[in-house]
Structure 1
Amino acid sequence: MHRFHIDAIADPQSLPRVAGAFAQRGIVPDSLSARFDGDTVRIEVAISGLHARQAAIIAAKLGETVTAIAVRLEAVEEVFA
């Protein structure tokens, strides 16, 4: 599983732009959350089944988004019971 942590400008287009980066690739996130913190919005997106290279490309594209301030990609080990 990969988690994308995005800090963006608190703008009405920030969340749709982030969601759109995944929708354009036909990817439905496992979870997506957003929290406004003053002038920024902190967005976290979790997706399972992505290859590391694909996740890195998406993270780079998210970083090019006009409203993005910072993007961090985290690889999370999936544990199955």
Structure 2
Amino acid sequence: MNELFPNSFLNDSISLIIKIMIITSLVVYGIFAFILISQIRIKRQTVTTQLGGFLELLAYIHFVLSIILIILAFIIL
């Protein structure tokens, strides 16, 4: 009686749908992180600031962490 739905097939289907949604969301987030890198690179060419290099470094770290998160999601889910 601990199951949300008594039918095992329904539980498996809902679980699979949730996993696909999570992985799809993380892939979209990874694409966002990649676009963020290109936007910062373009902004750096247009406007020169002292923090430009630091912001680009943060964007690369953000992208790498998002890729690691996607890989972990594939492993865990």
- Normalising by structure 2, report the TM-score: 0.28
- Normalising by structure 1, report the TM-score: 0.27
Greater relative contact order: 1 or 2 (C-alpha under 8 angstroms, separation 6 or more)?
A: 1
Specify which structure has the higher proportion of strand: 1
Specify which structure has the higher proportion of helix: 2
